[in-house]
Amino acid sequence: TPQILSISQGLSSSEGEVSSRLILCWFFSFSHQTPKGSCLEAVKIAIDAGYRHIDGAFVYFNEHEVGQAIREKIAEGKIKREDIFYCGKLWNTCHPPELVRPTLEKTLKILQLDYVDLYIIELPMAFKPGDALYPKDENGKFIYHETDLCATWEALEACKDAGLAKSIGVSNFNRRQLEMIMNKPGLKYKPVSNQVECHPYFTQPKLLEFCRQHDIVIVGYSPLGTSRDESWVNVSSPPLLKDPVLNAIGKKYNKTAAQIALRFNIQRGVVVIPKSFNPQRIRENFQIFDFSLTEKEMKEIEALNKNVRYVELLM
């Protein structure tokens, strides 16, 4: 299970506003593998380091710690609520329109916040609604639920109108699924963002260009590759951070291969999500705004694309 931090130079909203947050921090973890309190401390360290955008989800089972960290930092006078940009996610079992608002309200209750800044559909497929987050049949196969993404989107629009979410977006959507939402009759708000896997070995050029044309921000997860956890990662994939091109460019700037990979996506306008609960790496991941890659270096890194997916969404 990954635990993730993310950074960004800005996030556009559907109304044309631009978030001034320089840094995004994203925590993705599960309680049975994350020691109690580790997310709490990581969020506080990230806020102290300058991170202001926190992205979580009910299904990560740590929103109570994220909310506590935010409240503690507000109490210290380090930040105000309006300084924080929080993103939550709608899980697969909650796609029916009548479940969307109650699910978001549950997230807000856990966080002890009045609103989220961004609420996104985590995956375009739906599971059978119920208490089981990963419902399976007697053969161990996922139990899917027929879903109408447009109806689910309308429920998100209602959450925005109610003031429960400032902006709304999607995750793991392809072009066809994005167009389904954007071409929906009576559309009130288009998605402001689309979170997908994106790194030098999987650059997503066509999807990135499509989203640019429609003013949709790409949020790239696994920008440094991933941990080698075979329960959810294709461990046969080549380790990104050992790439000689990234390391050679890093040597020139006195930066790590990780920092070069992050800088590459930032310069392309992609929000990046580097994994770390390590205080040193949290701060190190911040240090990518004091240099720029040349056009030649950007092309060299773009040429590394192998269409390699580290995260296999085998659902």
Residue 174 has pLDDT above 70, yes or no: yes
Task: Give me the pLDDT at residue 34, please.
Answer: 66
Active site (annotated) includes residue 201: no
The residue with greater pLDDT, 176 or 221, is: 176
Pick out the residues of the known binding site: 145
Q: Where are the domains of the chain?
A: 24-302
DSSP code of 34?
S
Tokens of 200: 């030098």
Give the model confidence (pLDDT) of 118-162 as tens digits.
999 999 999 999 999 999 999 999 999 998 999 999 999 999 999
The residue with greater pLDDT, 58 or 129, is: 129
Spatial distance between the Cα atoms of 147 and 124, rounded to a whole number of angstroms: 9
The active-site residue out of 51, 60, 86, 189 is 60
Give the model confidence (pLDDT) of 86-130 as tens digits.
999 999 999 999 999 999 999 999 999 999 999 999 999 999 999
Name which of 187, 115, 106, 117 is nearest 149 in CA terms: 187
Split at pLDDT 50, 70, 90, the class of 57 is confident
Pick out the residues of the known binding site for substrate: 145
Give the model confidence (pLDDT) of 68-95 as tens digits.
999 999 999 999 999 998 999 999 999 9
Give the model confidence (pLDDT) of 188-237 as tens digits.
999 999 999 999 999 999 999 999 999 999 988 888 987 656 666 667 77
Give the model confidence (pLDDT) of 247-269 as tens digits.
999 999 999 999 999 999 999 99
DSSP 3-state percent helix, strand, coil across the chain (nearest 5): 35, 15, 45
Taking domain 24-302, whether its CATH number is 3.20.20.100 is answered by yes
